[in-house]
């Protein structure tokens, strides 16, 4: 089964269940040869009811048509008496990579997720379809733009095919779903639209609390889920979620559209004008003192005033929103100016008089203060490097790197591999991080040219890795290791530059383990504090610098060669790449430097944790700079490279590109630092 229907070339298996198996494939009849997902009904599953369910899935996908949050149905056919469904491939990751047990996500994250999924679920419910298996694993976030997709319609059931008994109850003889996310009526074989509402509510509660639905307590008398004691959220979001997960479906929102309306339509509030005026003035005073925010003390004072005046919490919250609105609008204007300045730097820097005048006119148009503009310029406009005259004393160090070569076998399925270990040497210098004995080792990376991206014949590549293009890189220094937790704590103890840093942010503890659960903003702050302490402008690598340093002169998928093993890197060894072997899945980070380096003397460039880069996300390399410089557009979603401990091997390749919002933090994301060329 190499090619199906004369066009769909199978690349690898993605997963499988009792009735069907899914494959990643490439459509060779399309000019761009896009990736797609092929679902095959298992050949031994020929029972008429099983075939009926499989064909009904295709019929429902066709009925749903094209929706921007549902993978499109591309084909449905039979070949050699086996049924197949072909769908659009979504390049991204499912939300089980974000919604992780033990980790609480913000209310903003939860609200946005809830609204995004309710929108697509409202569309599905309007077509009379129940999904019946909503959970983090069936929600995909597309890398390109962060869009949420609802996947796996293998469990759906049209309302028209359900049965009504003599008591008027709706039921189905087939129980499909996932324990913990399944409503009581669904467990009893009687799913309804409200069952999807329940499952989504449990998913969002898991995101907020970090507790698996099956581990949440139930009221012993009513059977209702107890979750409000796990996390502090606004009353409004709490009320919506609580109604979504009521035990009996008659007490829930009957369908997604009702929950969406409750979430998005603000309640009408009537206030006593005199009471409102007193409270509003107090809120204005506190907002002015807090420069557009309410401090913890201000909120306590306002709460006392609210009780004194007899205002409800909703009434007070409405006044807060109105008082803070002008500050938020001003912040929005600052963000608009920053984006324009970023574009101007990209296209016109260094600025001539015309560009400078245009920026000043735009500042006046928006009504922005000079001091605020100065702060933005300090972040965005390149500073003249002051460090090139500094002298860095380097020394040589020796290291071991490895390559994988075929030991035996000619056919892909019969190949075995052996590890060849080679001695290397290069220059490095040591940066002392205070008087605590903790140091940062920086390896000299020589300048040169390389081919960035992947070729069209590289197995399991993504379109975001195209087009391949030549990039010229200037010499620089790069951290020998991912930033460790001991290094992180040393820098987190230094004076703040822009934001606070949590010294104990990591989930997996260990002084020599890589720091994780750090956002892009955190990593930038680390670099800023390190630069302030040492007088050297440390920063994150550009995406081109990172790939150049990772490849270290190689052109294969990994710097080890055509494949990878868990003897050489920390990744999810339950999966294999190409003809390589499966291996160990450690399920956590490991100490840095325990695996062989690459030929440049850098460790853990494949796996352990993803690594932040300076650049913002672009869906491909069209328009990418050829000089290795940073490539920024929206300055909100930034690049991640290298793969991690819980990622499959093909997503640890040298060319793989990933991204996340700059303020997101995950237990599989860290970083390493670089420094521009210095004299030595």
This model's pTM is above 0.75: no
Tokens of 59: 């019929």
- pLDDT band (50, 70, 90) for residue 186: confident
Residue 321: strand pairing partners:
none
- At residue 427, the pLDDT reads 92
CB 672 within 8 A of CB 611: yes
Residue 479: strand pairing partners:
442
Least confident among 221-235, 476-490, 500-514 = 221-235
Is the pLDDT at 601 greater than 90? The verdict is yes
Of 130 and 515, the one with more pLDDT: 515
Question: In angstroms, rounded to a whole number, what is the distance separating the alpha carbons of residues 355 and 337?
Answer: 14
Percent of the chain topping pLDDT 90: 53
Q: How far is CA 119 from the centre of its chain?
A: 21
N- to C-terminal Cα separation, the chain: 58
133 counts as catalytic: yes
- pLDDT band (50, 70, 90) for residue 47: low
- pLDDT band (50, 70, 90) for residue 176: low
Tokens of 364: 């006046």
Range 3-88 classified under CATH 3.40.190.10: no
Question: In angstroms, rounded to a whole number, what is the distance separating the alpha carbons of residues 252 and 239?
Answer: 11
Mean local confidence (pLDDT), 359-372:
81
- At residue 171, the pLDDT reads 38
For 80-105, the pLDDT digits (tens) are 888 899 999 999 999 999 999 999 99
- pLDDT band (50, 70, 90) for residue 220: low
Question: In angstroms, rounded to a whole number, what is the distance separating the alpha carbons of residues 77 and 81?
Answer: 10
Question: In angstroms, rounded to a whole number, what is the distance separating the alpha carbons of residues 344 and 333?
Answer: 16
Mean local confidence (pLDDT), 311-319:
90
Question: In angstroms, rounded to a whole number, what is the distance separating the alpha carbons of residues 138 and 135?
Answer: 6
Percent of the chain topping pLDDT 70: 89
Mean local confidence (pLDDT), 367-378:
80
Mean local confidence (pLDDT), 646-670:
93
- At residue 164, the pLDDT reads 35
Mean local confidence (pLDDT), 288-302:
83
Question: In angstroms, rounded to a whole number, what is the distance separating the alpha carbons of residues 332 and 338?
Answer: 10
Q: Which of 54-63, 154-163, 479-488, 624-633 has the highest mean pLDDT?
A: 479-488
For 254-291, the pLDDT digits (tens) are 999 999 999 987 654 444 457 888 888 888 878 877 77
Q: Where in the chain is the domain with CATH 1.10.510.10?
A: 92-264
DSSP assignments along 27-60, one per residue = ETTSTT--EEEEEEE-TT---HHHHHHHHHHHHH
Q: Where in the chain is the domain with CATH 3.90.1580.10?
A: 431-676
For 318-351, the pLDDT digits (tens) are 999 888 888 888 888 888 998 988 888 877 776 7
- Distances from the Cα of 603 to the Cα of 5, 98, 270, 442, angstroms: 44, 26, 62, 12
Is the pLDDT at 411 greater than 60? The verdict is no
92-264 is classed in which CATH architecture? Orthogonal Bundle (1.10)
- At residue 388, the pLDDT reads 41
- At residue 369, the pLDDT reads 77
Mean local confidence (pLDDT), 7-18:
84
Mean local confidence (pLDDT), 146-168:
58
Q: Where in the chain is the domain with CATH 3.30.200.20?
A: 3-88
Q: Which of 39-53, 216-230, 332-346, 402-416 has the highest mean pLDDT?
A: 332-346
- pLDDT band (50, 70, 90) for residue 446: very high
Question: In angstroms, rounded to a whole number, what is the distance separating the alpha carbons of residues 53 and 603?
Answer: 49
Least confident among 4-8, 106-110, 202-206, 630-634 = 630-634
Could you identify the residue written with the tokens 């494939």? 25
- pLDDT band (50, 70, 90) for residue 652: very high
Question: In angstroms, rounded to a whole number, what is the distance separating the alpha carbons of residues 346 and 509?
Answer: 40
Active-site entry in 133, 196, 521, 615 = 133
CATH code of the domain occupying 431-676: 3.90.1580.10
- At residue 353, the pLDDT reads 72
Tokens of 71: 């993978």
Is the pLDDT at 636 greater than 90? The verdict is no
If one counts every other C-beta atom within 10 angstroms of the C-beta of residue 211, the result is 17
**How many CA atoms lie less than 13 Å away from 642 in the CB half-sphere?**
33
Question: In angstroms, rounded to a whole number, what is the distance separating the alpha carbons of residues 421 and 405?
Answer: 11
- pLDDT band (50, 70, 90) for residue 357: confident
Mean pLDDT rounded to a whole number for the chain? 86
Could you identify the residue written with the tokens 């491909």? 620
User: Cis omega (within 30 of 0) on the bond before 596?
Assistant: no
Question: In angstroms, rounded to a whole number, what is the distance separating the alpha carbons of residues 116 and 142?
Answer: 13
If one counts every other C-beta atom within 10 angstroms of the C-beta of residue 582, the result is 14
């Amino acid at each position: 089964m190499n090619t199906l229907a004369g066009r769909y070339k199978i690349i690898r298996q993605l997963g499988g269940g009792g009735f069907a198996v899914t494959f990643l494939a490439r459509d060779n009849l399309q000019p761009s040869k896009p990736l797609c997902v092929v679902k095959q009904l298992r050949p031994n599953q020929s029972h008429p009811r099983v075939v009926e369910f499989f064909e009904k899935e295709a019929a429902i996908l066709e009925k749903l048509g094209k929706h921007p949050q549902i993978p499109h149905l591309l084909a449905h056919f039979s070949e050699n008496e086996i049924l197949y469904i072909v769908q659009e491939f979504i390049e991204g990751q499912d939300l089980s990579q974000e919604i992780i047990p033990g980790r609480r996500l913000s209310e903003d994250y939860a609200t946005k997720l809830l609204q995004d999924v309710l929108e697509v679920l409202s569309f599905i419910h309007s077509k009379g379809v129940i999904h019946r298996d909503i959970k983090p694993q069936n929600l995909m976030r597309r890398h390109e733009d962060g869009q949420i997709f609802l996947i796996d319609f293998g469990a759906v059931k049209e309302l028209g095919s359900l049965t009504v008994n003599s008591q008027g109850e709706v039921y189905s003889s087939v129980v499909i779903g996932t324990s913990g996310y399944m409503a009581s009526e669904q467990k009893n074989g009687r799913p309804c639209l409200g069952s999807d509402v329940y499952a989504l509510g449990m998913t969002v509660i898991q995101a907020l609390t970090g507790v698996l639905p099956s581990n949440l307590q139930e009221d012993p008398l009513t059977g209702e889920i107890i979750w409000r004691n796990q996390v502090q959220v606004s009353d409004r979001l709490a009320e919506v979620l609580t109604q979504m997960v009521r035990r009996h479906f008659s007490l829930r929102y009957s369908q997604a559209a009702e929950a969406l309306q409750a979430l998005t339509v603000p309640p009408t509030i009537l206030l006593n004008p005199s009471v409102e005026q007193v409270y509003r003035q107090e809120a204005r005073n506190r907002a002015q003192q807090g420069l557009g925010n309410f401090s913890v003390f201000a909120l306590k004072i306002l709460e006392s005033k609210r009780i004194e005046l007899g205002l409800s919490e909703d009434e007070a919250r409405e006044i807060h929103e109105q008082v803070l609105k002008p500050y938020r609008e001003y912040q929005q204007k600052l963000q608009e100016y920053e984006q324009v300045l970023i574009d101007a730097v990209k296209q016109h820097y260094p600025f001539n008089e015309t560009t400078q005048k245009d920026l000043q006119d735009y500042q006046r148009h928006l009504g922005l203060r000079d001091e605020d503009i100065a702060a933005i310029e300090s972040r965005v406009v390149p500073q003249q490097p002051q460090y090139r005259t500094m002298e860095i004393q380097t020394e040589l160090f020796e290291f071991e790197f490895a390559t994988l070569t075929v030991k035996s076998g000619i056919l892909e399925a019969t190949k075995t591999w052996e590890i060849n270990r080679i001695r290397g040497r290069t220059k490095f210098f040591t940066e002392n991080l205070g008087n605590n004995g903790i140091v940062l080792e920086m390896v000299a990376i020589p300048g040169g040219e390389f081919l960035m991206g992947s070729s069209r014949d590289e197995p399991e590549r993504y379109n975001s890795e195209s087009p391949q293009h030549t990039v010229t890189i200037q010499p620089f220094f790069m951290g020998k290791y991912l930033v460790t937790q001991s290094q992180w704590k040393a820098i987190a103890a230094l004076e703040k530059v822009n934001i606070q840093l949590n010294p104990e942010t990591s989930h997996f503890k260990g002084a020599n383990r890589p720091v994780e659960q750090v956002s892009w903003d955190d990593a930038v702050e680390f670099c800023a504090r390190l630069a302030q302490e040492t007088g050297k402008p440390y920063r994150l690598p550009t995406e081109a610098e990172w790939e150049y340093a990772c490849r270290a002169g190689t052109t294969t998928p990994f710097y080890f060669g055509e494949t990878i093993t868990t003897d050489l890197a920390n990744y999810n060894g339950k999966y294999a790449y190409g003809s390589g072997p499966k291996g160990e899945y450690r399920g956590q980070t490991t100490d840095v430097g325990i695996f062989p380096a690459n030929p440049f003397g850098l460790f853990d460039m494949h796996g352990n944790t993803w690594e932040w880069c300076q650049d913002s996300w672009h869906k491909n390399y069209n328009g990418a700079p050829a000089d290795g410089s940073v490539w920024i557009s929206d300055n909100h979603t930034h690049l991640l490279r290298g793969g991690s401990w819980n990622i499959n091997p093909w997503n640890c390749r040298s060319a793989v590109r990933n991204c996340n919002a700059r303020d997101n933090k995950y237990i599989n994301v860290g970083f390493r630092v670089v420094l521009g060329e210095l004299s030595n």
